[in-house]
Chain A
C-alpha cells in the first residue's frame, strides 16, 4: 500500500515537472535561470581575463590555479554545459512553436515598441554559440590557433599571439558586441520570465541591463584592442 502510494507520488512529481517544462511559460523560466547562470560566468570570466593587464605572471598563475582545482572546475564546466544545452533546447522548441503559430505572414509589419536587441535574439544567440565553440577550440583546447602559436599553460602568450591576428580580434569583437545585445535584452527579460516586474523597478532594471551589457562589452574588447595597439605584448 505504502509502496503504491509513494510510486504514485513519484509519478505525480515527475508529471508536475513534465507539465511545467511542456508549458511555454515553464520553458521561459528554464531559459531565465540558465541564462542567469551563463551571465554569472560571463562576469567571472571577464574579471579573470582582465588580469592580462597585470602581466604574464598574474594571469598564468590564475590559469594554473583554475587547473589545480580540477574537480571543482569540472563541476562548474558541467553545470555550464547543462545550462547551455537546456537554454538552446528551450529556444529551439519555442522558436519552432512560434514559427508555426503564424503560417501566413504579414505583407507589411512595423515594429513600434521593441528594442533592436530583443528582436534579434534568434540571431545573436546562434552567432555567439558559434563564437564560443571557436573560442574554446582556440584558447582552451588549443586545436586551432590560426597564424599564431599555442603553448599549453602559457595563457598570456596564447592571448597575445592569438589576438595579434587582426581577423581573429575582429571576429572576437563582433561576437562580443552581439553578446552585449543578447544580454541587453536577456538581463531584464529573465526577471520578467520568472514573474518579477514592477512599473518603477523594471525601468531601472532595463537601464541597468543596458549599462551592464555595455560594461561587459567594453571590458572584453579592451583585451584584443590593447593587443592590436601593442599596449599589451
Chain B
C-alpha cells in the first residue's frame, strides 16, 4: 500500500508548527497506525531527518498513551479502537491521512503529535483515596455486589485516560473523563464513603483546568476507544448536585493547573 501522510510537525510548545507531507509506499495492510509511523520514522532517520514524535506504550489498546486525530476523527475511523490497534487495512491504497495532535488549551503540545495531559492527572489526584482496611484481604464474598452494579462500574473503569474525549469535544470538555472516574469509584461500595467529597473535588479540579463545558452532544462517547457511555456525565452531574446540597465543609482546594482559562487567548 502507498499512503500519503500529512503530519503536524512542531519542535516544541513555543514553535509555530506546520503540516509536513510524507509518502510511505511500503505500508503492509496488517500494520498498525503506529507501526506505519515506525516505518516512516526509520526512513526519516536514514535520511538524517528528525523522526515524528508520538506517544505509545503497550500497543495493546489498554494503556492510554497513544492517540491523535486521523482525518478529523480522534483515534481514526474505527470505533472503539486506539491508534495502536488501528490496522492499515481500513484505509485504501493511495489515501491521504491527516495526522494532528489533540488540540486543547489544557493539553499543551510537547512535540509533533505528543501533548501534555497532566490536567487529567490533576483530576485523578483531586479524587483522592478510597477507604480500604489494611491487613489480610477479606473474603471475596463479604461484600456482595449486584451484576448490574459491577458491570456499570466496570464500564466506567474501562477509561484509559487517552484524552480522545477532550480532543473530539467541540468545547474541549473533560466531562466524559471526569464522569468515568467519578462513576467507577462511586458505584461500588468501596468508593461510597468518599463519594460526595470525591465528586466535589474532581469537578472542582476539572473546572479549574482549562477545559470547556459539556453541552451533552455526545462526540466524546463516539470517539472513546473504550466506549464509555454518556451516562457517566449524568452520573457526575447528579453526584455533584447532591453533594453540593449536602456538603457541610468548605470548598475543596484545587491544584493550580498548568494553563488557566483566564489567561489571554
Chain A interface residues (CB < 8 Å from chain B): 12, 15-16, 19-20, 22-29, 94, 97-115, 118-119, 121, 185, 188-189, 191-199, 202
Across the interface, which residues of B come within 8 angstroms of A121, CB to CB?
215
Task: Decide if B157 is an interface residue (CB 8 Å cutoff).
Answer: no
Known: A112-B222, A113-B222. Contact between A102 and B104, CB under 8 A? yes
Verify A101–B105 contact, CB threshold 8 A.
yes
Verify B237–A29 contact, CB threshold 8 A.
yes
Given A24-B206, A94-B213, 12 other A-B residues pairs in contact with their CB atoms under 8 A? A15-B251, A19-B244, A23-B203, A25-B237, A27-B213, A97-B261, A101-B211, A109-B72, A112-B219, A118-B218, A121-B215, A195-B236
Known: A23-B203, A28-B237, A98-B170. Contact between A106 and B215, CB under 8 A? no
Across the interface, which residues of A come within 8 angstroms of B229, CB to CB?
199
Complex alpha-carbon distance, A192 and B170, angstroms: 18
Interface membership of chain B positions 222-265, coded 1 if the CB is closer than 8 angstroms to chain A and 0 otherwise: 11000001110111111111101001001100000000010001
Across the interface, which residues of A come within 8 angstroms of B103, CB to CB?
102, 104-106
Candidate in B210, B216, B244 with the most chain A CB atoms within 10 angstroms: B216
B238 partner, pick from A28, A106, A195, beta carbons under 8 A: A195
Verify B237–A98 contact, CB threshold 8 A.
no
Instruction: Using CB atoms, name the residue of chain B closest to A197.
Output: B234
Verify A28–B214 contact, CB threshold 8 A.
yes
Across the interface, which residues of B come within 8 angstroms of A119, CB to CB?
170, 217
Instruction: Using CB atoms, name the residue of chain A closest to B222.
Output: A113
A-B pairs, top 3 by smallest CB distance, nearest first, are A113-B222, A195-B238, A98-B212
Across the interface, which residues of B come within 8 angstroms of A199, CB to CB?
229, 231
Across the interface, which residues of B come within 8 angstroms of A100, CB to CB?
105, 210, 212, 261, 265
Verify B219–A113 contact, CB threshold 8 A.
yes
Known: A105-B103, A112-B73, A195-B238. Contact between A189 and B216, CB under 8 A? yes
Task: Decide if B221 is an interface residue (CB 8 Å cutoff).
Answer: yes
